[in-house]
Amino acid sequence: MTVDSRLEALGWHHLYSGKVRDLYESAAHPGRLLVVTSDRVSAFDHILTPGIPGKGALLTQLSLWWFGRLGEPTHLAAAHPSLGAHLPPELAGRTMIVHTLEMYPIECVVRGYLAGSGWAEYRVSQTVCGIELPAGLEEGDELPEPIFTPAFKAPLGQHDENITFERMVEIVGAADAEALRETSLRIFATASAIAEERGILLADTKFEFGRDPGSDHPVLADEVLTSDSSRYWDAETYAAGGMNRLESFDKQIVRDWLAANWDRTGEPPELPADIVERTAVRYQELVDRFMSES
């Protein structure tokens, strides 16, 4: 009997599957969703095989840790007291009960350092999402101040599109755009300070928000400040310089292997066991670094 069929028997009906998360709804819990974080791993807009063992539980654990420390309205809701005991055992540690929200179609990206797609754009135009930056920056350099660089969320299987703030205003309206930018930058500052206390640099991250009909404040949703949504570096390694200074606590190992072994045509190859194992270690290490000093 599959997990879906057992959840169906409990009244939770499959609603949607993203690259990593599966959503379920239930008539018995109106206004609530069951979010299940899988071990799936994606890169270059493809879901890869095999998954990363334990990844879903680690992402959920870290999101919950951050939700409890940011002092922001979140999508977390109180679960039915007996619900957890009746969920399939393989879902232990990887589920959240959340409020149903009207999600903004925007990924609210904040960058404190020049890396990833921001670095690629900067090399061409000395801008990131239309924001002009000083000349002479190198990959991994800290920016004069964190910048807000939104992206438009694409359908599953397509690539999210970096957009200007002006384009974001056209999509969600001026008031919401301003609120999302201000909230994102504030959370980034709070999270950066917490990370630095643990010897970790938060290079960049993405937040997702929803609209609650009962509030005019953006509600933090989905995952937050995990290895999948954020780029973290070890502060000591970064300060020492050298080739390893930008090694991140995420699936970069997967991306690098895939880039070297696949031309992005057809279906991607299966990940080797050692790549899967090394990636799992990086995910676990980040959770340990944060939660061991709670």
Residues 131-157 have pLDDT tens digits of 999 999 999 999 999 999 999 987 655
188, 112 contact by CB (below 8 A):
yes
User: CA of 74: how far to CAs of 77, 82, 184, 187, 222, in Å?
Assistant: 9, 22, 13, 12, 9
* pTM score: 0.93
122, 137 contact by CB (below 8 A):
yes
- Structure confidence by residue, pLDDT tens digits, 13-50: 999 998 999 999 999 889 999 999 999 999 988 999 99
Reading the block at residue 254, the tokens are 């997967």
Q: What is the mean pLDDT of residues 186-191?
A: 98
Q: pLDDT band at 79, cuts 50/70/90? A: very low
DSSP 166-224: HHHHHHH-HHHHHHHHHHHHHHHHHHHHHHHHTTEEEEEEEEEEEE-TT-SS-EEES--
